[in-house]
Structure 1
Amino acid sequence: MAPSVGIPICVQCGTGSNPCRCKVVGPTVGFLAFAAAAIAEWPIGALVYCFRHSKGRRVMAHPATVVYPSVTNAIPL
């Protein structure tokens, strides 16, 4: 029997950005964008870290500090 693989669904409750006070679409799309950016940026950041520590840390933190929040906040649902 093959394992079932589902689509990750993220829920953020307690927000004031919509009348329902819950967001599902924004955090889910934000997580998928975060994962795609992390796949590309973490190996590059690890390589850069070998030569310039602070720059490598910024590259590896970019998906969590820039990509995920900007995508999540752009979609109010």
Structure 2
Amino acid sequence: MVGIGIPICVQCGTRSNPCRCKVVGPTLGFLAFAAAAIVEWPIGAFVYCFKHMKGRRIMAHPATVVYPSVTKAIPI
């Protein structure tokens, strides 16, 4: 039987909490990144056909905005 694993992201060396490691924030950030990418990458690819820079900004949005903002919002 094959099980589906949940991706767990760990960020150590941070000073935002006493244990200096974050698990929840990066993991939820990755899940939010994946959800945003599923929606935004096809749209960005379509827009890229007509306006290259706008398409690139749309496709980069999950990595440059969504993931960092979710990861920083949750301190543990």
Into which bin does the TM-score normalised by the smaller protein fall?
over 0.9
> Partners in 2 of 1:48 and 1:36 — Cα distance?
19
Runs of 5+ consecutive residues of structure 1 not aligned to the other structure: none
Partner of 2:9: 10
> Partners in 1 of 2:2 and 2:59 — Cα distance?
31
Identity of matched residues, % = 83
Paired residue secondary structure (1:8)? coil
Partner of 1:52: 51
> Partners in 1 of 2:61 and 2:2 — Cα distance?
32
Paired residue secondary structure (2:2)? coil
Count of aligned positions: 76
Q: CA deviation at 1:4?
A: 1.2
Runs of 5+ consecutive residues of structure 2 not aligned to the other structure: none
Mapping 1:1-77, distance limit 5 Å: 2-77=1-76
Structure 1 segments of 4+ aligned residues over 2 angstroms from their partners: none
TM-score (norm 1): 0.97
